[in-house]
Amino acid sequence: MLIIKRMKRTTPRFFKKLRMIGLSVTAVAAAMLAGPAVLPLVLVKIAGYLTVAGAVATAVSQTAVKRDY
């Protein structure tokens, strides 16, 4: 199945929730990175990791589809 067709099909409820959580985590981490305040290096590293993790979770959950039996 092509990835474009797969992404257009219906997504199960669990993966819809996972996608929203991934988007939320990515948004919070991006806000931390883009904020005008100077944050400690540890928080900047954590925000970078959260950005990647949220983006991966969102992409993976978008490609999950319901099976047609």
Q: Which pLDDT tens digit goes with each residue over 9-58?
A: 888 899 999 999 999 999 999 999 998 888 889 999 999 999 999 999 99
Residue 67 backbone class (left: φ over 0; alpha: ψ -120 to 50; beta: rest):
beta
Domain extent at residue 53:
3-62
Q: Is residue 29 a part of any domain in this protein?
A: yes
pTM for this predicted structure: 0.77
Amino acid at the residue 32 = M
Q: Is residue 58 a part of any domain in this protein?
A: yes
More confident residue, 1 or 16: 16
Q: Is residue 9 a part of any domain in this protein?
A: yes
More confident residue, 67 or 18: 18
Please tell me the predicted confidence (pLDDT) of residue 63: 84
Residues in CB range of 10: below 8 A, 6 or more apart: 65, 66
Residue showing tokens 């931390």: 32
